[in-house]
Structures are given as C-alpha cells and as structure tokens.
A = this chain, B = another copy of it.
Amino acid sequence: MCGIFGIYSFERINVAKKIYYGLFALQHRGQEGAGIATSDGRNIHHYKNIGLVTDVFRDDVLQNLFGYIGIGHVRYSTTGGKAVENCQPFVVKSSFGNIAIAHNGDLVNSNELRMDLEKKGHIFTSSTDSEVIAQLLVRELLKTSDKIEAIKNTLKKLIGAYSLLIMFNDSLIAVRDPWGFKPLCIGRDDENIYISSEDCALTTLDAEFVKDLEPGEIIEIKDGGEISSYKLDFDVPEYMSIDVDVPSIYKGATTCMFEYVYFARPDSTIDGISVYKVRKRIGKILAKEHPVEADVVSPIPDSGVAFALGFSEGSKIPYYEGLIKNRYVGRTFILPSQNERELAVRLKLSPVKSVLEGKRVVLVDDSVVRGTTSRRIVNMVRKAGAKEVHLRIGSPKIISPCYYGIDMATKKELIASNKTEEEIGKKIGVESIGYLSLEGLIKAIGRKDLCLACITGKYPTDINFEKIAKRL
C-alpha cells in the first residue's frame, strides 16, 4: 500500500522533522521501510532504510536532511525480500538536476514499461515503480522543457494505481491517478503546503485540510507557496455499472473500496467520506443483513471495532470487548516455534473471560484472515466459555487478487474464492457466518465510483496477466 507525505515550506524552514511526524501518522500504511528526501533548492539529501519510521530516523539523521521541500514514504511489507534499495523516495541525478519520487499504488503495466526501457538501454537498481516512472520522466524531459508537459506525457503511459510525489530541486508535484485508486489530499498552514495520503497526518501537524486531489489531478507547488492545478486528460475506460442508489463523487473514478473498509486509519476522511462512519454503517447494515440472536457483540480488534459498534447499534445486542489485543504486538519478537501457532495467536489476542463466559457471542471483523487464524480465535473464544460463536464480516467475500497495491497474498483472503459461506463457516467452526453484501458495502460507503475488483473479479483497467505472471 504505502503512504506518502510531502511538504513545501514557503518560509524556507527545514521540513524533515515535520515529514517525520507526518510519516509517523501514516505508519499504518506501511511498516517495512521508511525514507525522506529533502531539497534545499540546490541539492537533494535523503535517507531511507528498512524498519519503522521511529527505528529508521534518529535525530542526527534528520538534522542532516536540510531543505525546505521534502517528501517521505512508508513502505508496505510485501512478500518479496526486504531490501533498502526498494525503500523510497527514489532519488536520481539526471541532466535536469536531482529528482526524488515517492509512490503509493501499483502499476499494472510496470513490467512492460520496464522491459521497454531496458531494451532502450536503461538499467534498474531497484524493483520499484518509482524507478520506472523516473526513467520515463527523464526521457520526456529531454523532449520538452515544460515540466508539467513532460509529467503529463509520462503519466499517460502508466496504467494502474499511483498517488505520486515528485520533487525537483525547486518544486514539488503531486499526482493522483485518473482512476483515483488511492487517496491523496492537500493541507496548509501559515508556513507550509502539505500533501498526504490521508488527512489524519494533517491533523497531527495541525494543518488545515484544503482538498482531496481529484482523479487525474496534478498539483504543482512552487516558489512562494503558489499552487497550480492541472488535469491529465486521459480517458479512463468505462467500469462496470453499479445499480445502487448512491451518487458518484468523481464520474468514472474507481477508488479502492478497501481503503474505507480496512486500510485507512479510522479517523481519516477520504474524498469527503469519513472512514469511521463508513465502518459504523457497515456494522449496522450487517446487523440487518445477517441478524442473529445473541448476548454480546465483540470485535476482533483493531479492524473489527467500528463494525462491531455499528452492529451493536443496529442489532441492539450490547457491545463488549471480548478480545484484548496486546499493544506491544508489532515489535519484532522471538517467534514461537512452528508447533506453537496457537501461542502466536494468544500473544496477539487475549479473551476476556468475564465477557464471554456462557454467552452467545457475535464476533465482527473486516475479512476472514487465513481460515486457520480465524479458527484459532474462535477456539480461544469458545475455550473462554462462549456458548455460541457467530461471525460477521464487514465486506463481501474477496475472490480475486488485487493488482493495484494491496497484497492479497499476505491477507490470504482468497480462501473465500472457492468456498461457499457455509463451507467457510464450517471450516472456522462457527454457528453462523455472514458476509456484507456488495450493495450493502456500496451503500455504507455512500459512493459508487469504487473499485470492486477483488470482490467481483472485474478490473477497472486492462490487466496483462501474462506479463504480470512473468514478473513474479
């Protein structure tokens, strides 16, 4: 997934520390690596490494990142190997000076673009899309002296999800792809313009929210903090028509529904829609769609919390925390051995016996993580005394992989793809299971210009499956 954050200080104050705090607020978007690049108007300084924001940056490192323009990146952990080369921002020296790029999303045609470039003699030092974009951009810059023109020409070649920050020595450019897959918004205060994946980072820095970038919008921030907006004219192909009675925000856009359901922070607002409210509404709808007689509604924390609160509201079944998540989870620790998998679950989640004992319990979560983990949780809940366990899932079944940046492999969602709900419920060992309907999802989000590909199998872009396969 990744998170990106940029600042342009028109008061020319060093921005590295503010970017550090912004990335800290976006840490949930990626825990594998972090990086910051800053420009002092002449040179680009940068530092990146494997690890959490707080591990990667120490005070002395930040203090050496001079400059009043800066961009930062938190990298999502993918199944591929960890390597500092794949951390971002990607920084290059070119005949147009230094360029730094930070990218959130996944290009569907990056493999083709990469092979094309390689055939023209370009070489690659990383496996990031940012490097592909950088190479394309520099080629376009050779053709036209107009930066925005060159960027537009570059972007027209890209298919897939990209929220981008591009930093030149003296300007900062932000782009949201024409499909509007990933969020990106602008904020400001008296001294700075901010660009952030989610507005929660603006709140952290006490910046005022200005607006979400529109799909296909290019924002340029230059000297004095002047902001210009451009529009990429790119015809997004028609996506499947959805027959639910809610409006579109951006005509033709296909914003990732999973940002609302799972990925974004609950206190964020994406394209004007509160993530927290979406989740509560989902819970409420779920209660209507899959009612059950029960004593207690409990979330699987943290993702299930808002759903469960909504479910409780909708069902009038009282909400209790039947599972406590250990707050020190997330730190690297000595793993239990292979045959202690249950311990691994108990180290993360702990049942509150007094809440569960003798009760008919509704467990709510965003999705079914690997059947086995869910089964272990259900077991644990039963062992703590629950009489019945009912599972409610805040999204429809995920049946198809995502090619736009969310690693479904890690979420191992695809268990649902070839099983009926009943079979899944049986496997997990619950009295009943209920998934949110597609219509319910769209209504809860309240917009229909959504990507729903992982649920429906219909992709808003062409997918060259053969090329993608090759690259793996």
Residues of A in contact with B (beta carbons under 8 Å apart): 17, 20-21, 24-25, 27-28, 52-55, 57-59, 62, 84, 90-95, 99, 115, 118-125, 127, 134-135, 138-139, 142, 200, 203-206, 265-267, 269, 274, 276-277, 280, 302, 305-306, 309, 313, 318-321, 324, 326-328, 330-334, 336, 342-343, 346-347, 350-355
Tell me whether B347 and A204 are in contact (CB under 8 A): yes
Q: Which of B118, B206, B266 contacts A346 (CB 8 A)?
A: B206
Question: Measured between alpha carbons, how far is A346 from B22 in the docked complex, in Å?
Answer: 11
CB distance from A280 to the nearest CB of B (A): 8
Tell me whether A309 and B302 are in contact (CB under 8 A): no
Tell me whether A333 and B276 are in contact (CB under 8 A): no
CB distance from A308 to the nearest CB of B (A): 11
CB distance from A123 to the nearest CB of B (A): 4
26 contacts between A and B (CB under 8 A): A21-B336, A25-B347, A25-B350, A27-B326, A53-B328, A54-B328, A54-B334, A55-B331, A59-B334, A93-B118, A120-B142, A121-B122, A123-B134, A123-B138, A200-B324, A200-B350, A203-B346, A204-B350, A206-B343, A265-B350, A276-B321, A277-B354, A302-B327, A309-B319, A327-B327, A331-B331
Tell me whether A24 and B328 are in contact (CB under 8 A): yes
CB distance from A95 to the nearest CB of B (A): 4
Given A52-B328, A124-B93, A125-B91; A354-B205 close (CB under 8 Å) = no
Residues of chain B lying within 8 A (CB to CB) of residue A134: 123
Question: Measured between alpha carbons, how far is A313 from B94 in the docked complex, in Å?
Answer: 57
Copies in the complex: 4
Tell me whether A269 and B54 are in contact (CB under 8 A): no
Which has the most chain B C-beta neighbours within 10 Å: A25, A57, A122, A342? A122
Tell me whether A343 and B93 are in contact (CB under 8 A): no
Question: Measured between alpha carbons, how far is A16 from B20 in the docked complex, in Å?
Answer: 35
Residues of chain B lying within 8 A (CB to CB) of residue A318: 313
Question: Measured between alpha carbons, how far is A203 from B125 in the docked complex, in Å?
Answer: 34
Tell me whether A354 and B269 are in contact (CB under 8 A): yes
Which has the most chain B C-beta neighbours within 10 Å: A99, A313, A320? A320
Q: Which of B94, B265, B342, B350 contacts A124 (CB 8 A)?
A: B94
Q: Which of B54, B306, B320, B334 contacts A57 (CB 8 A)?
A: B334
Residues of chain B lying within 8 A (CB to CB) of residue A313: 318
Question: Measured between alpha carbons, how far is A300 from B360 in the docked complex, in Å?
Answer: 29
Tell me whether B343 and A21 are in contact (CB under 8 A): yes
CB distance from A310 to the nearest CB of B (A): 10
Residues of chain B lying within 8 A (CB to CB) of residue A326: 24-25, 27
Tell me whether B123 and A135 are in contact (CB under 8 A): yes
Tell me whether A267 and B324 are in contact (CB under 8 A): yes
CB distance from A338 to the nearest CB of B (A): 14
Closest to A64 in B: B81
Residues of chain B lying within 8 A (CB to CB) of residue A306: 321
Question: Measured between alpha carbons, how far is A278 from B276 in the docked complex, in Å?
Answer: 28
Which has the most chain B C-beta neighbours within 10 Å: A54, A127, A346, A354? A354
* 10 closest residue pairs by CB, A with B: A274-B354, A95-B118, A92-B123, A54-B333, A267-B352, A93-B124, A267-B324, A121-B139, A54-B331, A94-B123
Residues of chain B lying within 8 A (CB to CB) of residue A305: 321
Residues of chain B lying within 8 A (CB to CB) of residue A347: 21, 24-25, 204
Tell me whether B319 and A52 are in contact (CB under 8 A): no
Residues of chain B lying within 8 A (CB to CB) of residue A139: 121
Residues of chain B lying within 8 A (CB to CB) of residue A120: 142
14 new A-B contacts at CB < 8 Å, known A90-B125, A309-B319, A319-B319 = A24-B347, A54-B333, A54-B334, A91-B125, A92-B125, A93-B125, A94-B123, A119-B142, A204-B346, A206-B346, A266-B321, A266-B352, A267-B324, A267-B350
